[in-house]
């Protein structure tokens, strides 16, 4: 079974702090994604990566950056946390197999609160 | 611009009855559709999918119907069980695109 793990389930940070959210997958997937989920807004894509050291902006990249130094690990960075970044953050991965549709597998999520 | 739309944000249904969730999409390039289920404080889990070459896919109590001409799909859960109480997300993708477009989700409450 695919396993996607996230470094923290719950995190409380102060405004202005630098925040790192870590995600690790164990299925040798090429693609990794960061989403945030907010009530009434569904899942919104922040950034994704289709290869090591590659990244693409999603729909709401402002205020975030990412890092993918190893295939299995994808980090989301909040350079200076703000209260409007309080949210549930979800990491996902999928295979980059050509010639097929590739379902995304999600981690358990990190509930981040910025005070 | 919301490419995948789920109206009726919440649904309450009696245990044993049918739950029907609807999803509309606007992008005619979408040709693969998925439903995810999400419990509070957990990540979404894949439920069922359908490709555009089919109009129906069934997996146990879950059936997804696709109407390409109407750009509409629906998820039927029969019979509904209390453990089905969750948020359900509709998602879509296009061939060769690694991204999924998600709807905003439907909250389902199954009343015992």
Write the DSSP assignment of A39-73 as a string of letters.
TTTEEEEEEEESSTT--EE-S--TT-EEEEEETTE
Q: How confident is the model at residue A18, as a pLDDT?
A: 97
Report the pLDDT averaged over residues A70-74: 96
| Residue of A17, A39, A26, A41 whose CA lies nearest to A93 | A26
Q: Do A45 and B99 make contact, defined as CB atoms within 8 angstroms?
A: yes
What's chain A's average pLDDT?
92
| Residue of B70, B26, B67, B28 whose CA lies nearest to B50 | B67
Q: Do A43 and B44 make contact, defined as CB atoms within 8 angstroms?
A: yes
Chain B residues with CB-CB distance to A58 below 8 A: 99
Nearest to A43 among B41, B45, B89 (CB): B89
Using the predicted structure, report yes or no on whether residue A97 has a pLDDT greater than 90. Answer: no
Nearest to A109 among B9, B41, B49 (CB): B41
Using the predicted structure, report yes or no on whether residue A109 has a pLDDT greater than 80. Answer: yes
Q: Do B49 and A101 make contact, defined as CB atoms within 8 angstroms?
A: yes
pLDDT over 90 percentage in chain A = 82
Q: How confident is the model at residue A53, as a pLDDT?
A: 87
Q: Do A101 and B102 make contact, defined as CB atoms within 8 angstroms?
A: no
> Considering only CB atoms, which residues of chain B are within 8 Å of chain A?
6, 9, 32, 34, 36, 41-46, 49, 51, 89, 93, 95, 98-100, 102-105
Residue in this structure with the two tokens 């991965």, named with its chain if needed: A93
Per residue of chain B (112 residues), what is the pLDDT tens digit? 689 999 877 999 999 999 999 999 999 999 999 999 999 888 999 999 999 999 999 999 999 999 999 999 999 999 999 999 999 999 999 887 888 999 999 999 999 9
Nearest to B43 among A41, A42, A108 (CB): A108
pLDDT over 70 percentage in chain A = 95
Q: How confident is the model at residue A98, as a pLDDT?
A: 63
Min Cα separation B45/chain A (Å): 7
Q: How confident is the model at residue A1, as a pLDDT?
A: 66
Q: How confident is the model at residue A111, as a pLDDT?
A: 95
């Amino acid at each position: 079974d695919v396993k996607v793990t996230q470094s923290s389930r719950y995190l409380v940070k102060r405004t202005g702090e630098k925040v790192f959210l870590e995600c690790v997958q164990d299925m040798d997937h090429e693609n990794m994604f960061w989403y945030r989920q907010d009530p009434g807004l569904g899942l919104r894509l922040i950034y994704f990566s289709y290869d090591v050291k590659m990244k693409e902006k999603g729909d709401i990249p402002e205020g975030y950056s990412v890092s993918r130094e190893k295939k299995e690990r994808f980090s989301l960075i909040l350079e200076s946390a703000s209260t409007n970044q309080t949210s549930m953050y979800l990491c996902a991965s999928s295979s980059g197999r050509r010639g097929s549709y590739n379902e995304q597998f999600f981690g358990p999520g990190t509930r981040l609160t910025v005070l | 611009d919301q490419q995948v739309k789920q109206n009726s944000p919440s649904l309450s249904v009696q245990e044993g009855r049918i739950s029907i969730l609807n999803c509309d999409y606007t992008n005619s390039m979408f040709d693969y559709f998925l439903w995810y289920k999400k419990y509070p404080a957990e990540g979404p889990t894949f439920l069922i999918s359908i490709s555009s070459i089919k109009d129906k896919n069934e997996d146990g109590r879950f059936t997804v119907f696709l109407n390409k001409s109407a750009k509409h799909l629906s998820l039927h859960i029969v019979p509904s069980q209390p453990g089905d109480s969750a948020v359900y997300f509709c998602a879509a993708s296009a061939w060769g695109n690694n991204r999924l477009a998600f709807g905003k989700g439907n909250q389902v409450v199954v009343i015992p």
